[in-house]
Amino acid sequence: MALTGRAGLLALAGTLVVGLLLPSGWAVLGLLAALLALVVTDVLLAGPVRHLLLTRAGDTSVRLGESATVTLTVGNPARRRVRGSLRDAWPPSAGAAATRHPLDVPAGEWRRVQTVLRPTRRGDRPAHRVTVRSLGPLGIAARQGSHEVPWRVRVLPPFHSRRHLPSKLARLRQLDGRSAVMVRGQGSEFDSLRQYVGGDDVRSIDWRATARAAEVMVRTWRPERDRRILLVLDTGRTSAARVGDAPRLDAAMDAALLLAALAARAGDQVALLAYDRRVRARVEGESATTLLPALVQAMAPLEATLVETDYSGMVATILSRAGHRSLVVLLSALDPAPVEEGLLPVLAPLVRRHQLLLATVGDPGVAVLAAGRGHAEAVYDAAAAARAGLDRRRVGERLERHGVQIVDAPPERLPPALADRYLALKAAGRL
């Protein structure tokens, strides 16, 4: 039950009656009783809320930064009209434009209510409750009740680094030999024989085939295909730290998505593993067309947890996969303590079987601190930042001695840097 402003206004008008015409306690009681009777009548005559039929339809996933529309259908099976207001409640980060809607459903009819969501954060956004307030015919009081109408909008990672994809694909095509001259070398495999045309490199003439075919034949080459790439997202505490405005994990996801899109075009098999102390998400065996949707769906609900990553468990999980040699891209932080105490001791079996690439999100804020000069506080900050930089470099060098590739870049530069390193590895045939 709920009152409206009219009940208060009526009582306020009663003040004049009591004050000027009937100054007594009985008048107050009488007015109260009359008002109560009106309220009870109004509530009894209001359309019932409990029996409303509510269903939802609309978008179930949306890229961060875009808007989704969820439609709520309200059916009124009762014999009385339901008139009033409706609130479709969502968590604040779902970014619902307007959650309160006027509602007027005649008996036996349906009405649609649309809520436009513009989420402000990645992850799953569940709808809360739908609350309906049904006014009585006098508009003095209303029935109010809530319905649970479950719905979930999955907010996908924004994949800002998409804009880098065309240039990286152009580089990939160069490797592929589709648009540029192709020479045999590391990282390429025999593709086919075809007739010599003017301009082909004479070094690629296959004399044995030429002898058989009575025409000059050349061999063509293409980059190695069907290599395996495993993207490993570290969702431990180091990924929770914020660089700029977003956690490291978000920047890591962006880089992973660009790399996955590129590798899928290059014909490589891409898999994803998210791990802190247990497997948080896993994507395997997707074809090139279904890979990206599967990846963003898997990444969307991931949040960094405030636990120390269990690197030995992570390595064991990676090794338990099929034994093919893979490029393992670990997206993690290059903080000295976790790497030296967690990763380095368990690194040996991993680098023996796979090529490990550590992609880490650098913090531009540290560079700003390192440039601080002028007064004691700034210089101490600069010294601490310099020490942090030296530590990172030392740890990076220790990893590189184990044959680990390191990509260290600030959030906005990490995706292209990682893609470039992948292309370089591919060109060098080290996948």
Partner 1 sequence: MSATTPAALPTARAATTADRTAAQLWRTLRMPVAVLLLVLLGGLLLAAVGGGRPDGYLDPRAPGPAGSRAVAEILRDQGVVVDLVRTSATMSARARPGDTMLVALPDLLSDSQVRAVGDSGADLVLAGPAAPERFAPALVAAGPTDSGVRAPGCPLPAARRAGPADAGGRSYSVDTGTQEQTRDLGVVQCYAHDGLASLVQLRSARGALVTAVGNPAVLSNQRLAEEGNAALALGMLGRSPHLVWYLPSADDVPARDQRSLYDLLPDGVVWGLVQLCVAVLLLALWRARRLGPVVTEPLPVVVHATETVQGRARLYRRSGARDKAAAALRAASLQRLVPALGLQRRSEPATVADAVSARTTRTSADVLVLLYGAAPADDAALVGLADDLDELEREVRRP
How many other C-beta atoms can be found within 10 angstroms of the C-beta atom of residue 287? 9
Q: How far is the CB of 392 from partner 1 (least distance, A)?
A: 6
C-alpha to C-alpha distance for 99 and 61, rounded to whole angstroms: 19
Q: How far is the CB of 363 from partner 1 (least distance, A)?
A: 4
For partner 1, the closer of residues 54 and 388 by Cβ is 388
Q: Which stretch binds partner 1 (CB under 8 A): 199-207, 313-321, 349-357, 390-398?
A: 390-398
C-alpha to C-alpha distance for 128 and 45, rounded to whole angstroms: 28
Mask for 220-239, x = binds partner 1 (CB under 8 A):
-----------------x--
For partner 1, the closer of residues 33 and 183 by Cβ is 33
| 14 counts as binding partner 1 under rule CB under 8 A | yes
For partner 1, the closer of residues 85 and 204 by Cβ is 85
Mask for 128-167, x = binds partner 1 (CB under 8 A):
xxxx-x----------x-x---------------------
For residue 161, the 8-state DSSP code is G
C-alpha to C-alpha distance for 89 and 103, rounded to whole angstroms: 15
Type of residue numbered 408: D
C-alpha to C-alpha distance for 196 and 398, rounded to whole angstroms: 49
| 364 counts as binding partner 1 under rule CB under 8 A | yes
Going from the C-alpha of 117 to that of each of 61, 73, 139, 150, the distances in angstroms are 11, 17, 31, 15
Q: How far is the CB of 179 from partner 1 (least distance, A)?
A: 31
| 393 counts as binding partner 1 under rule CB under 8 A | yes
Region for 248 from its dihedrals, namely left if φ exceeds 0, alpha if ψ lies in -120 to 50, beta otherwise: alpha
Q: What residues from 294 to 313 belong to the interface with partner 1 (CB under 8 A)? A: 303-304, 306
C-alpha to C-alpha distance for 273 and 279, rounded to whole angstroms: 7
For partner 1, the closer of residues 215 and 303 by Cβ is 303
Mask for 70-109, x = binds partner 1 (CB under 8 A):
---------------x-x-xxxxx------x---------
How many other C-beta atoms can be found within 10 angstroms of the C-beta atom of residue 44? 10
* In the block, residue with structure tokens 């990672």: 157
For partner 1, the closer of residues 170 and 337 by Cβ is 337
Q: How far is the CB of 232 from partner 1 (least distance, A)?
A: 20
Give the CB-side neighbour count of residue 257, counting CA atoms within 13 A: 24
> Which ranges in 17-155 belong to alpha helices (H)?
25-45
Of the candidates 12, 37, 170, 213, which one interacts with partner 1 according to CB under 8 A?
A: 12
DSSP three-state, residue 64: coil
For residue 426, the 8-state DSSP code is H
Binding footprint of partner 1, residue count (CB under 8 A): 84
Type of residue numbered 2: A
Q: What residues from 370 to 389 belong to the interface with partner 1 (CB under 8 A)? A: 370-371, 373-377, 379-389
How many other C-beta atoms can be found within 10 angstroms of the C-beta atom of residue 144? 18
Of the candidates 227, 413, 421, 426, which one interacts with partner 1 according to CB under 8 A?
A: 413
| 50 counts as binding partner 1 under rule CB under 8 A | no
Q: What residues from 233 to 292 belong to the interface with partner 1 (CB under 8 A)? A: 237, 240-243, 247-248
Tokens of 380: 């101490």
Q: How far is the CB of 217 from partner 1 (least distance, A)?
A: 48
C-alpha to C-alpha distance for 410 and 160, rounded to whole angstroms: 14
| 24 counts as binding partner 1 under rule CB under 8 A | yes
For partner 1, the closer of residues 130 and 259 by Cβ is 130
